[in-house]
């Protein structure tokens, strides 16, 4: 199934307080901007050494420095938040992603909307069909794990914990990313391999837009949407093929 979404901003009543875990990264900074654009109160968490990356938001967001897998840091950051956007980090080999996910799952207030970022390699039900390109990237990442550079398996473990939780979660699975101006809200499908996703390309700014939009989209609770840019060839082809005359 492939679904195009309408932005929810205009449907949002009242102001949300949102925690962004991993706010200093590329995806995180875009999410901060989208959240501010919607008038949300923003609390950002990032490593102490990265706080300066958030300087352009000074005075507009609250920054809590610390490791994102530190349960005390997360407890302080998510207190009172309506939603939590979490960047599940692939780098690192110290169970950083799974520790981060667990801290958020345990410390967010009951009923809070929890949205996690990951890549297409995450599968919820084993029904995803991968091209040689995605398989090659995963293989390269496994080699990097041997060199203690990247641990994709820890992101897999993080998502396993999210899928098993009874919180109000969504795991947004990003395709290959590129920089560039926004093209609007990406489209999504339940399974990698579905024709709409073939282009495997999304603007990072729009990945962030989808993450923020998901906070107010209850139809995505307990879903793991795989996304692709709405102007990508496969998305346009799908739209043309399914257009009602």
Q: Which residues have a Cβ under 8 Å from the Cβ of 240 and sit 6 or more positions away?
A: none
Q: Which residue is nearest to ligand NAP (CB)?
A: 25
The least CB distance from residue 25 to ligand NAP, in Å, is: 3
**Contact region for ligand NAP (CB under 6 A) — 22-30, 75-83, 128-136, 181-189?**
22-30
Interface residue with ligand NAP, options 8, 9, 26, 168 (CB under 6 A)? 26
47 scored as a contact of ligand NAP (CB under 6 A): yes
Q: Rounded CA gap, 188 and 2, in Å? A: 6
Helix or strand run (H / E) with residue 226: strand 226-228
174 scored as a contact of ligand NAP (CB under 6 A): yes
User: Facing residues of 63 across strands?
Assistant: 44
How many binding residues for ligand NAP (CB under 6 A)? 24
Q: Please identify, using beta-carbon distances, which residue of 44 and 112 lies nearer to ligand NAP.
A: 44
104 scored as a contact of ligand NAP (CB under 6 A): no
Q: Rounded CA gap, 190 and 232, in Å? A: 17
Interface residue with ligand NAP, options 5, 33, 107, 117 (CB under 6 A)? 117
Q: Which of 85, 74, 67 lies closest to 17, judged by CA?
A: 85
Angle at 109 between CA 5 and CA 165, to 5 degrees: 70
Question: Which residues in the 62-81 window bind ligand NAP by CB under 6 A?
Answer: none
Q: Rounded CA gap, 20 and 37, in Å? A: 14
Binding site for ligand NAP (CB under 6 A): 22, 24-28, 46-47, 50, 53, 87-92, 96, 117-119, 174, 176-177, 204
């Amino acid at each position: 199934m492939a679904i195009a979404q309408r932005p929810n901003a205009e449907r949002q009543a009242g102001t949300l307080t949102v925690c962004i875990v991993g706010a200093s990264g590329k995806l995180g900074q875009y999410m901060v901007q989208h959240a501010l654009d919607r008038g949300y109160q923003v609390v950002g968490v990032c490593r102490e050494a990265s706080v300066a990356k958030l300087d352009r938001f000074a005075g507009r967001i609250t920054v809590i420095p610390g490791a994102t897998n530190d349960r005390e840091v997360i407890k302080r950051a998510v207190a009172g938040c309506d939603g939590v956007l979490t960047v599940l980090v692939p780098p690192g080999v110290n169970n950083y992603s799974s520790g981060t996910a667990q801290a958020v799952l345990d410390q967010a207030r009951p009923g809070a909307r929890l949205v996690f970022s990951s890549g297409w390699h995450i599968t919820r039900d084993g029904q995803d069909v991968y091209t040689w390109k995605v398989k090659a990237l995963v293989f390269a990442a496994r080699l990097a794990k041997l060199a203690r550079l990247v641990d994709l398996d820890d992101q897999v473990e993080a998502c396993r914990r999210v899928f098993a939780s009874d919180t109000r979660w969504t795991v947004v699975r990003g395709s290959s990313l590129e920089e560039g101006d926004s093209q609007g809200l990406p489209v999504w499908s339940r399974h990698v391999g579905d024709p709409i996703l073939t282009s495997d390309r999304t603007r990072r700014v729009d990945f962030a837009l989808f993450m923020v939009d998901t906070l107010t989209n209850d139809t995505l609770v307990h879903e793991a949407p795989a996304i692709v840019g709405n102007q990508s060839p496969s998305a346009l082809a799908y739209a043309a093929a399914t257009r009602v005359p």
